[in-house]
C-alpha cells in the first residue's frame, strides 16, 4: 500500500507534514527568487540609465571643447561641424545668448529624441544657473520621453555664453531592459516550479524513514499482540486449572513458568529485531564456541530428551541473538514435532575439518536430560577428553540442524519463515521469522525442509566473518 492511499491517521499526518514542508520550501524559494529578480532588474535599469547619461555627457563635453569665440564675440562652430560626433544618432543642439538675453539656437543636429525648443531653453537655463553639467528627462517633439545632457561653454569673462545639449531616445535600452525582466520572470517561474518539485521529492525522501519507523512500530505491536495472545490464553487456562485443583498446583506453576519463559523470549526477540532494524542497537560480534552455546540452550529443556551431536565450532556472532534463534528452532520442533528431537552442530568444513572427518575423529554426542555418551556407537571416548576446537582460520562458519519427527511441512505453505504465512496455519508465528532474521544479520541462511522418513529438518548457518 502506497503512502498516498494509506488510511492510517499517522500516515495522513505525515502527508500533511510533507505538503507543509513542500509549501514552505516553495515559498522561501519564491521569496528568494523575487528578491534576486528585483535586485537584478533594478541594477540593470540603473546601469542602463547611467550608461546613457555617460554617453550623452561624453558627446556634449567633447563638442563643448570645439566651441570657440571669434574676435567679434560671435560663436565659432567650424570645428563642431567637422567633428565626427555630429554624424552619430545622438541629437545635438547648441544654444547661445548675448549677456543675459534669451537663448537662441545656433546649431542643430536633430535625430530621434530631439527635444522641443522650450525643453532646450529650460535645460540651458538650468546649466547657466548651476554653472555645471546637468542631466534631465524631457518629452521630445513627438511626445515620447527623451534623455538630455547639457554642458556649459564659457566665454572669456567666465560667463556661460553657450550650452551644448545632447539628447537621445531611451526606448531601445528600455526595450532591452523589458526583455531582461521578462526573461527573469520566465526563468524565475521555471526555477520555482523545479524547486517545488524538488522540495516535494526531498520531503518525500525525508518521510520515508518516518514511514519505515511507523511500519516497524506497527509491525512490532501487531507481532507482539499476535504472539502473546496464545501463551497468555494458555497461561490463563493453567492458572485457572491450578486454582480449581489444589493438588495440581506444582504442575500449574511449572506450566506457568514455561509459558512466561516463552513470552519472555518472544518479547526479547521482537525488541532485539526492532532495535536493530531501526538502528538503535548494533548486533555484537564476539568469538564463541557454537557447540557450547547450543548445549547451553538445550539445557533449558531438561525433560525433552533432546539428542545433541556436536563438534567444536568457533564462530563470531551475537550470543544473545543466536541463542534466541536456536531456542526458537528447538521450541518449534518440540511443539510441532513428534518423538525425539535431534540437534547437530557442525563446522562448514575447511581443510582441517575435512581431515578430521576423514580420520574419523569422534564428535560429542549427548542426550540432554539423560545419560551422556560420546563418539560413534561402540567407540566410547575416555572420560574427560574433548576434541580440540578447530582454528577459526580453518572454518567457513557453523551449521546447526534441528530434526523432528512430526507431520512435516504443509505443501501449500509458501514460505515457513514468513511472519504472516505460518501464524494462522501451523502456529509457528514470529519465531521462525526471527530465526531467518538472525541468520541474515550473521551472513548465514535459515531453511526448513522435509526430512527423509517424515518430519522436518531446520538448518541455521552462521557465516565465517571476513578478516
Q: What is the DSSP string of 182-221?
A: HHHHHHHHHHHHHHHHHHHHHHHHHHHHHHHHHHHHHHHH
123 confidence band (pLDDT: 50, 70, 90): very high
Higher pLDDT, 241 or 129: 129
Q: For residue range 30-55, list pLDDT tens digits in order.
A: 999 999 999 999 999 999 999 999 99
Residues belonging to the chain = 467
Residues of the chain with CATH 3.30.450.20: 65-169
User: What's the topology of domain 285-463?
Assistant: Heat Shock Protein 90 (3.30.565)
Distance CA 324, CA 315 (A): 16
Q: In this structure, what is the dihedral angle of CA atoms 382, 385, 386, 390, given to the nearest 10 degrees? A: -120
The CATH number of the structural domain formed by 65-169 is 3.30.450.20
Task: Show the DSSP H helices in 245-318 as ranges.
Answer: 249-277, 290-298
Distance CA 191, CA 185 (A): 10
Sign of torsion, CA 47 50 52 58? negative
User: Residue holding cell 577459526?
Assistant: 392
Q: For residue range 313-350, list pLDDT tens digits in order.
A: 889 998 888 988 998 899 888 887 777 899 999 987 55
Distance CA 42, CA 24 (A): 27
Query: What was the pLDDT predicted at 3?
Result: 56
Query: What was the pLDDT predicted at 258?
Result: 76
Query: What was the pLDDT predicted at 273?
Result: 75
Query: What was the pLDDT predicted at 385?
Result: 38
The grid cell for 168 is 537621445
Mean pLDDT of the chain: 80
HSE of 176 in the Cβ direction (CA atoms, 13 Å)?
A: 8
Whether 395 contacts 464, CB under 8 Å: yes
Distance CA 79, CA 102 (A): 24
Cα–Cα distances in angstroms (integers) from residue 399 to residues 5, 209, 295, 322, in the given order: 44, 35, 14, 12
Query: What was the pLDDT predicted at 343?
Result: 93
Whether 432 contacts 416, CB under 8 Å: yes
Cα–Cα distances in angstroms (integers) from residue 453 to residues 143, 303, 448, in the given order: 109, 25, 15
Distance CA 211, CA 134 (A): 69
Phi-psi region of 433 (alpha: psi -120 to 50; beta: other; left: phi over 0): alpha
Share of the chain above pLDDT 70, in %: 82
- Pick the range with the lowest mean pLDDT from 37-51, 107-121, 263-277: 263-277
Whether 348 contacts 319, CB under 8 Å: no
Higher pLDDT, 273 or 286: 286
Instruction: Supply the Cα-derived Rg of the chain in whole angstroms.
Output: 48
The grid cell for 252 is 500449574
383 confidence band (pLDDT: 50, 70, 90): very low
The grid cell for 448 is 526448513
Mean pLDDT value of segment 137-152: 84
Share of the chain above pLDDT 90, in %: 30
Distance CA 97, CA 88 (A): 26
Residues of the chain with CATH 3.30.565.10: 285-463
Distance CA 358, CA 64 (A): 115
Distance CA 30, CA 219 (A): 41
Query: What was the pLDDT predicted at 281?
Result: 73
- Pick the range with the lowest mean pLDDT from 51-60, 228-237, 456-465: 228-237
**Angle between the 9-64 and 171-244 helix axes, to the nearest 10 degrees?**
160
User: Residue holding cell 545632447?
Assistant: 166
Contacts within 8 Å (CB) and 24+ apart, 114-117: 114/140, 114/141, 114/146, 114/167, 115/91, 115/139, 115/140, 115/141, 115/146, 115/148, 115/165, 115/167, 116/140, 116/141
Count CB atoms within 10 A of the CB of residue 353. 21
Query: What was the pLDDT predicted at 113?
Result: 64
Whether 93 contacts 109, CB under 8 Å: yes
Please report the beta strands in 33-159, taking only residues with DSSP state E, as ranges in sequence order: 68-69, 75-76, 91-96, 104-109, 134-139, 145-154
The helix (H) or strand (E) run that includes residue 163 is strand 160-168
Mean pLDDT value of segment 391-406: 76
The helix (H) or strand (E) run that includes residue 166 is strand 160-168
Distance CA 178, CA 189 (A): 16
Distance CA 183, CA 244 (A): 89
Query: What was the pLDDT predicted at 31?
Result: 95
Do the strands 446-450 and 456-463 form a parallel or antiparallel pair, or are they unpaired?
Answer: antiparallel
User: Residue holding cell 513470552?
Assistant: 263
Mean pLDDT value of segment 171-188: 92
Residue 204 has pLDDT above 80, yes or no: yes
Amino acid at each position: 500500500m502506497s503512502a498516498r492511499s494509506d488510511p492510517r491517521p499517522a500516515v495522513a499526518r505525515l502527508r500533511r507534514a510533507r505538503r507543509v514542508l513542500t509549501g514552505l520550501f516553495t515559498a522561501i524559494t519564491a521569496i528568494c527568487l523575487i528578491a534576486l529578480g528585483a535586485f537584478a532588474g533594478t541594477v540593470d535599469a540603473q546601469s542602463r540609465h547611467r550608461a546613457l547619461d555617460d554617453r550623452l555627457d561624453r558627446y556634449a563635453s567633447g563638442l563643448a571643447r570645439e566651441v570657440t569665440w571669434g574676435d567679434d564675440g560671435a560663436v565659432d562652430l567650424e570645428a563642431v561641424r567637422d567633428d565626427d560626433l555630429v554624424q552619430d544618432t545622438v541629437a545635438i543642439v547648441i544654444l547661445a545668448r548675448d549677456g543675459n538675453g534669451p537663448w537662441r539656437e545656433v546649431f542643430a543636429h536633430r535625430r530621434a529624441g530631439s527635444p522641443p525648443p522650450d525643453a532646450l531653453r529650460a535645460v540651458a537655463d538650468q546649466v547657466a544657473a548651476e554653472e555645471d553639467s546637468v542631466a534631465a528627462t524631457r518629452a521630445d517633439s513627438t511626445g515620447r520621453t527623451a534623455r538630455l545632457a547639457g554642458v556649459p561653454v564659457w566665454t572669456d569673462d567666465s560667463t556661460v555664453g553657450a550650452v551644448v545639449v545632447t539628447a537621445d531616445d531611451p526606448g531601445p535600452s528600455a526595450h532591452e531592459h523589458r526583455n531582461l525582466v521578462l526573461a527573469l520572470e520566465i526563468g524565475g517561474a521555471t526555477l520555482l516550479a523545479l524547486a517545488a518539485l524538488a522540495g516535494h521529492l526531498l520531503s518525500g525522501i525525508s518521510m520515508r524513514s518516518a514511514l519505515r519507523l511507523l511500519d516497524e512500530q506497527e509491525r512490532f505491536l501487531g507481532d507482539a499482540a499476535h504472539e502473546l495472545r496464545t501463551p497468555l490464553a494458555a497461561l490463563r487456562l493453567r492458572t485457572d486449572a491450578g486454582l480449581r485443583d489444589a493438588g495440581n498446583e506444582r504442575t500449574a506453576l511449572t506450566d506457568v513458568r514455561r509459558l512466561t519463559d516463552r513470552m519472555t523470549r518472544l518479547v526479547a526477540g521482537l525488541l532485539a529485531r526492532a532495535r536493530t532494524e531501526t538502528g538503535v542497537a548494533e548486533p555484537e560480534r564476539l568469538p564463541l564456541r557454537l557447540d557450547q552455546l547450543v548445549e547451553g540452550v538445550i539445557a533449558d529443556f531438561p525433560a525433552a530428551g533432546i539428542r545433541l551431536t556436536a563438534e567444536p565450532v568457533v564462530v563470531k556472532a551475537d550470543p544473545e541473538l543466536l541463542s534466541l534463534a536456536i531456542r526458537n528452532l528447538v521450541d518449534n520442533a518440540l511443539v510441532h514435532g513428534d518423538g525425539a528431537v535431534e540437534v547437530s552442530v557442525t563446522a562448514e568444513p575447511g581443510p582441517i575439518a575435512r581431515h578430521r572427518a576423514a580420520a574419523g575423529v569422534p564428535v560429542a554426542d549427548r542426550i540432554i536430560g539423560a545419560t551422556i555418551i560420546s563418539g560413534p556407537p561402540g567407540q566410547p571416548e575416555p572420560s574427560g577428553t574433548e576434541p580440540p576446537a578447530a582454528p577459526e582460520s580453518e572454518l567457513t562458519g557453523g551449521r546447526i540442524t534441528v530434526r523432528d519427527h512430526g507431520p512435516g511441512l504443509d505443501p501449500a505453505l509458501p514460505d515457513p519463515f514468513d511472519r504472516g504465512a505460518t501464524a494462522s496455519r501451523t502456529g509457528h508465528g514470529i519465531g521462525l521469522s526471527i530465526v531467518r532474521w538472525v541468520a541474515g544479520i550473521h551472513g548465514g541462511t535459515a531453511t526448513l525442509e522435509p526430512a527423509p522418513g517424515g518430519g522436518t529438518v531446520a538448518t541455521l548457518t552462521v557465516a565465517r566473518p571476513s578478516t
